[in-house]
Amino acid sequence: MENTGHLFRDCEFTKRIWMCSSLGIQPQAATNIPIVDWIRNLLNLFWKEDGIKSERVQEFVLTLWFIWIFRNNIVFQNQYDNPITIYKRKETLLSEYAESKKLKVANPRSTQSRTTEQPEEIRQTSNLQYDTSCIILVDGAWKRYKKFHPRAGIGWVARENEAILFEGNANVMASTPTQAEAYALFHAMRTTYNRGIRQATFISDCAELVRAIDSQHHPFEITTIIHDINSLRAKFDKCEIKKVNRIDVKPAHVLAQAARQGDERYRSRNEQRQHRREKWR
């Protein structure tokens, strides 16, 4: 039976991955230590010896992430990789990350302009043509943590021929606005799939998210979510994800903002019906 300890440390395949790394970790010597304590102990050790910007912490966390991706590739795509391949991918990503830090330090202004500028192919207008009749608007609302408010809210509204099929919103914990947008897209896709819809177009006003969907390089905080989104996307017969203007996803934004603020006046219609049923019981 798979558990987190077996997945990230005790599996024979996982042991070979750790043995390939330069961290000097011997997983077979720690099988009796709970996996959470094992991870915490190693992180504390690296931080204590190397400082808060420990490069060993980066490699350790990245190795855990690649193990998780390896597991998902087996489960969802029946794709198997050998430890050397995983090790090379990890080293490539570490090298690219180190190079990007050098570029950021050397030219901070140009780096900022590149991240905020939207490429020409991503810019869209409100006159988009869709190849599916089911259009799902998605949006995330994010603010830095404040007392009594969740960190982020997400919302989605599904339409077909201008009629609302379903809608929803939820509270999530997100570290960045882009992560909130990614959660909104994933929840909307999962809800759509669970309702038996196999052809749909999802629209978002987040250029960074839409760009990341079909890219091999994206912000670290949304990497695992993007993997889950693409795994779910493959189950649809047809699934498009497009960038639109902010005004085009306003109904979803209202639901997302209400979820973040805990405002009951803007429950989704499904939640309103459920609330009325519970009230009259």
Residues 8-28: what's their mean pLDDT?
83
Position 128 scores a pLDDT of: 52
Asked whether residue 115 is domain-assigned, the answer is: no
Q: Which two tokens stand for residue 128?
A: 């988009």
Residues 94, 198 share a domain: no
Positions of E strands within the chain: 134-142, 152-160, 163-172, 199-204, 238-243
pLDDT at 129 over 80: no
Residue 63: name the closest of 44, 37, 43 by CA.
43
Higher confidence at residue 277 or residue 190? 190
Confidence grade of residue 270 (pLDDT, cut at 50, 70, 90): low
Position 100 scores a pLDDT of: 59
Position 271 scores a pLDDT of: 53
Asked whether residue 126 is domain-assigned, the answer is: no
Residues 94, 138 share a domain: no
Cβ atoms 174, 152 nearer than 8 A: yes
Position 147 scores a pLDDT of: 53
Residue 271: CB atoms within 10 Å: 17
Domain boundary among 64, 87, 106: 106
Paired strand residues for 138: 156
Residues 207, 163 share a domain: yes
Residue 248: CB atoms within 10 Å: 21
Position 172 scores a pLDDT of: 86
Higher confidence at residue 39 or residue 109? 39
Q: Work out whether strand 152-160 and strand 134-142 pair parallel, antiparallel, or are unpaired.
A: antiparallel
Residues 205, 160 share a domain: yes
- Dihedral of CA atoms 264, 270, 275, 278 in degrees, nearest 10, equals -160
Summary mean pLDDT of the chain = 78
208 vs 116: CA distance, rounded Å:
9
48-106 confidence digits (pLDDT tens): 998 888 888 888 888 888 888 878 777 777 777 677 777 777 777 777 666 656 655 55
178 vs 185: CA distance, rounded Å:
11
Higher confidence at residue 273 or residue 119? 273
Residues 147, 42 share a domain: no
Distance of CA 223 to the CA centre of its chain: 6
Position 279 scores a pLDDT of: 47
Residues 97-118: what's their mean pLDDT?
48
Cβ atoms 154, 256 nearer than 8 A: yes
Tell me the CATH number at 158. Answer: 3.30.420.10
Q: Which two tokens stand for residue 59?
A: 């490699």
Asked whether residue 111 is domain-assigned, the answer is: no
Sign of the torsion formed by the C-alpha atoms of 212, 218, 224 and 227? positive
Q: Which two tokens stand for residue 161?
A: 């021929």
Asked whether residue 268 is domain-assigned, the answer is: yes
| H or E stretch covering 224 | helix 223-233
pLDDT at 14 over 60: yes
Lowest mean pLDDT among 27-31, 40-44, 179-183, 233-237: 27-31
Asked whether residue 275 is domain-assigned, the answer is: yes
Asked whether residue 117 is domain-assigned, the answer is: no
Contacts of 209 (CB under 8 A, 6+ apart): 178, 181, 182, 185, 222
Side-chain-side CA neighbours of residue 74 (13 Å): 10
Residues 253, 173 share a domain: yes
Asked whether residue 51 is domain-assigned, the answer is: yes
Sign of the torsion formed by the C-alpha atoms of 263, 265, 271 and 276? positive
Residues 269, 215 share a domain: yes
Residues 28-51: what's their mean pLDDT?
88
Phi-psi category of 138—alpha, beta or left, where left has phi over 0 and alpha has psi -120 to 50? Answer: beta
Position 96 scores a pLDDT of: 65
Residues 1-10: what's their mean pLDDT?
81
Domain boundary among 56, 90, 106: 106
* Domains: count for the chain: 2
Residues 246, 195 share a domain: yes
Residues 100, 152 share a domain: no
Position 263 scores a pLDDT of: 65
Asked whether residue 113 is domain-assigned, the answer is: no
Residues 183-210: what's their mean pLDDT?
94
Residues 141, 99 share a domain: no
Residues 261, 140 share a domain: yes
Cβ atoms 243, 130 nearer than 8 A: no
pLDDT at 240 over 90: yes
Higher confidence at residue 178 or residue 104? 178
Position 119 scores a pLDDT of: 38
Range of the domain at 8: 4-106
